[in-house]
Structure 1
Amino acid sequence: MRLLNTRTGEFVWVDDPRTVQFAILSHVWQTYQDLVQLHLVKGKHGESVLPFLSDKVRRFLEIAQNDGFELGWVDSCCIDKTSSSELSESINSMFNWYGYAAVCYAFLHDVTAPGSSDAVVWESEFRDSEYFHRGWTLQELIASSIVIFLSNDWKTIGSKHTLAPLIEEITKIDSAVLTFDKPLEAVPVARRMAWAATRVTTRVEDEAYSMMGIFGVNMQTNYGEGRYAFKRLQEEILKRTPDQTIFAW
């Protein structure tokens, strides 16, 4: 697993992420190729790449370091998506990676901090946040033991534990599942499918790939297969569970 040093922004390779403490940041747009280029250019002169990272990545690493983490992970920066084998392995491992992380910071670009607005405005923004409508954020919300929500000015809004009742209203995910008081496997397949019903992904295949961890499924990714990916997901689920609610879905 490729991680980032929170002090320098340099890559650190870890064979087993269960052996280290690391933080995760939810979705940013600086890519792995961007960071490789920075390492090549700045590394020649012994410079830290930290000042040259995107604002989101830099702020995340600063917050993680201040919270005592030496390592951080950002999917867009730490996965080489030009390598089909690395991308497939990462997608199949991602649910576990979120589970192994000590904390996941969810940066909500469209939500102001509670202290900056009245309660009605803040809650309305939180309910409508893009975070709760994206396909890939579903698994990180469920798998991560601790999720800290950050406002658009990087202030702490709350955690998924403190906000569990509100998040359940928004997402229909049982608050007991969010707080790990109820095992995910105890939730019927159809209900887990329903959690993703209103979420959207950029690539149609990701509608299926982003749900693999929620069902404990591993399968080869194949961008270009379109809706067939969801059919394969259903077939893999049926191999692993006698739960017939999938047919109701």
Structure 2
Amino acid sequence: MRLLNALTKQFEEFYDKVPRYAILSHTWGPDELTFKRMEQKGYVPSKKIDGCCEQALKDGLNFVWVDTCCIDKSSSAELSEAINSMWDWYYRAAECYAYLSDVPPDNKAEEANSKFSQSRWFTRGWTLQELIAPRKVIFYDEAWDRIGRKSDFDDDWEFTQRLSKITGIDDLVLSQRSLFRDYSVAQRMSWASNRTTTRLEDCAYSLLGLFEINMPLLYGEGNRAFQRLQEEILRASDDESLFAWGYGKLLRRGSDPPTTP
């Protein structure tokens, strides 16, 4: 696993014993700091990554994982391994920070039509697993001010219920008081129904962790990716609620930058 040292901003590779780390959940912008760019120019100051590193250090964590720069997307093998491992990486993170760059400071998250509830983060296909997999997720606004936390702690229950109302996901799943795998295939598919991905194949690939599926990635296969996902789910489960979901009812392509993984 490739991690970014929060202090030195240098990459470090770990194979067996991975240190405690923070992980970032976010939506991609037009000028992200990628692995290739860092290889060529070194670390370039980034409000998003700088804020993530600063918060990690405050939380006593020396390493962070950020998908924009910690995956070499020019390597199809590395990209495939990363996407198939991503659920586990988010689950095992000591902290998960959800950075909502389109939410201004002092926004009232509890209001029905708040910038928080309308954030693009809630519409992305990839952020679904980033919301469910971690034991806790701390949300931050554009200025890296804390908005609230998803967890199983009683103090966070009201905020977790707010997230449930926004996403349509059972608050017991979000708090991990109930296991996501105890919900039917159709129910889990419904959680993704209003989310978007840039690439057609990512409609399926972003759901691998949610259905505990590991399969090779074949960008360029189009709708076949979802068909392969269905086939893998059927091999692992006899839940026929899957047939209630065709490709068109799942995710739709959005307008995110084409560099998203």
Whether TM exceeds 0.5 here: the answer is yes
2:36 to 33, 51, 64: 33
Distance in 2 (CA, whole Å) between partners of 1:12 and 1:88 is: 20
Distance in 1 (CA, whole Å) between partners of 2:232 and 2:60 is: 40
Distance in 2 (CA, whole Å) between partners of 1:213 and 1:206 is: 12
Is the Cα–Cα contact under 8 Å of residues 111 and 122 in structure 1 kept in the other structure?
A: no
TM-score normalised by structure 1 residue count: 0.90
Instruction: Report matched runs for 1:141-180 at 5 Å.
Output: 141-161=131-151, 162=156, 163-180=159-176
Q: Report what 1:43 is aligned to.
A: none
Alpha-carbon displacement from aligned partner over 1:183-221 (angstroms, at most 9, x marks no partner): 111010001001111100111100000000000000000
Which has the larger helix fraction? 1
Instruction: Report matched runs for 1:21-170 at 5 Å.
Output: 21-27=20-26, 28=28, 29-39=32-42, 49=43, 52-113=44-105, 116-117=106-107, 124-161=114-151, 162=156, 163-170=159-166
Alpha-carbon displacement from aligned partner over 1:4-57 (angstroms, at most 9, x marks no partner): 00101100111146x421001123521011111234xxxxxxxxx4xx332211
The Cα shift of 1:248 comes to 2.0
| Structure 1 gap ranges (5+) | 40-48
Is the Cα–Cα contact under 8 Å of residues 127 and 170 in structure 1 kept in the other structure?
A: yes
Distance in 2 (CA, whole Å) between partners of 1:165 and 1:77 is: 32
The Cα shift of 1:121 comes to 5.8
Distance 1:244 1:139, change over 3 A: same
Distance in 2 (CA, whole Å) between partners of 1:195 and 1:84 is: 28
Alpha-carbon displacement from aligned partner over 1:126-148 (angstroms, at most 9, x marks no partner): 11110110000000100011111
| Structure 2 gap ranges (5+) | 246-261
Instruction: Report matched runs for 1:6-25 at 5 Å.
Output: 6-16=6-16, 19-25=18-24
Alpha-carbon displacement from aligned partner over 1:65-121 (angstroms, at most 9, x marks no partner): 1211101000110000000000001000000000110111011112133xx245666
Residue type at the aligned position of 1:153: A
Distance in 2 (CA, whole Å) between partners of 1:142 and 1:119 is: 19
Distance in 1 (CA, whole Å) between partners of 2:127 and 2:144 is: 18
Distance in 1 (CA, whole Å) between partners of 2:225 and 2:115 is: 33
Where 1:168 maps in the other structure, the secondary structure is helix
Distance in 1 (CA, whole Å) between partners of 2:109 and 2:81 is: 42
Moved over 3 A (4+): 117-123
Quick check: 1:232 aligned with 2:228? yes
Percent identity over the alignment is 48
Residue type at the aligned position of 1:106: A
Q: Report what 2:255 is aligned to.
A: none
Distance in 2 (CA, whole Å) between partners of 1:176 and 1:182 is: 5
TM-score normalised by structure 2 residue count: 0.86
Is the Cα–Cα contact under 8 Å of residues 91 and 209 in structure 1 kept in the other structure?
A: yes
Residue type at the aligned position of 1:15: Y
Q: Report what 2:254 is aligned to.
A: none
Distance in 1 (CA, whole Å) between partners of 2:128 and 2:35 is: 23
Report the more deviating stretch, 96-105 or 160-169: 160-169
